[in-house]
Structure 1
């Protein structure tokens, strides 16, 4: 059983060493607030050359056995953040060491500079990937986050689609419609936004009706075909249309990223292969 006093942690002038420390139960009054326990675990990691996840997993396991699964997930997410911070510190150190090269070394200077550029790129990609994992799936410990992200992005997409429809940036994505007499008449009436005058024609009555929500959903979900994307397209005649086209590309990319990470989180693939 773990029984301790938080004030005693500060008395450890040489730092805490919790690696290998095992316990099966924590007295209720000694659990304290989770953020304080996370600080306790982090203080045992700070400044070390190697990272050990054993103290974090030990504490999370005890929390789960006590029925506090939510707190256990918070601890594991904090553990992942600490691990990533440790990794990035090492990557940054390797980059700083590689960029201190002397141009008088000749060909070796160019090779060293290329190596430094590669390390810098690796560092930035790692930061971006870590940020995505934290925001979208809570490092794999919060599978509900992709659902929340998806709802927010689809709602935003539906709002933008509605505004785009009002601005007249959508047009039928059909060669038959675009070469029909009704469309040519609408083009003559309004060359910039012919969709609105075309909607009153006979051919429009039998065409797929535009739905901002379904268009956003169809764009966002990579494996779903609701017919909206096949029936409607964003024109780039105006600046608003060009911006709208770019936004739909971003929404589509976000759909691929969030759904892929969500599937990986549910399947437990994010944490597989970790040997820390």
Structure 2
């Protein structure tokens, strides 16, 4: 079954061109089925790009998905038009009374700021607290993962000497979780961040298991035993050229950023990079939808 999205959403045309089946709100309303209600709190500056990347991964499932896009009311976006936000997004206050089967909280390019110095941190903490009661499972990505680990469990983040950027090899730790069903013992995934979290601090919570790590990039995946809190420090949703575009942007601004590691063929920045993480990205999101949401959520989310 497809992802249900507004007909005018820019991501729709992109996904249809890739032969990904999407459905309009009108057509979905004629199907006698309860779709999985998934919200996306999009904190990334290029919101249309992030929408498309996430919707692509969410589409790879037999379940029907109903998407609600959210943005923070306490921060004014400088890179996404007010028209786009007004047309396709809601704020937390708009949905705070609702229950969702799943929520994705994206990353944000603010890692070097202390959490309390982020202008929307009070709103963020309200949302994180709300997920405990109104969301079956929350998938936190990159800064979103760091923010949730800090708020819920007091796990700190640490600035690294050089940006962690590239496509890194990861291995499973041996901890058990349905979210890694079907994963290879070793797999690739992109990272792009200036800060890190420590596996020892995550394990010390007694509530969160580290599931996959990289010798070079650190923790990649962690989760609570009940699957209600998933933490992904990398970016399995990235397109093949996303790291290249970030590297070019930062280089043109004169920032001292490294060439993304293990990304360009032969480490040549003029070569065209290949997507070598797509399969595990799709598997991660399919497992999240199936094992953490569909198999666990009640027919009426308000009964949870």
Q: TM-score range by the shorter chain?
A: under 0.3
Using the size of structure 1 for normalisation, the TM-score is 0.22
Q: Which has more strand, going by share of residues?
A: 2
**Higher RCO (C-alpha 8 Å, min separation 6):** 2
Larger helix proportion of the pair: 1
Which has the larger Rg?
1
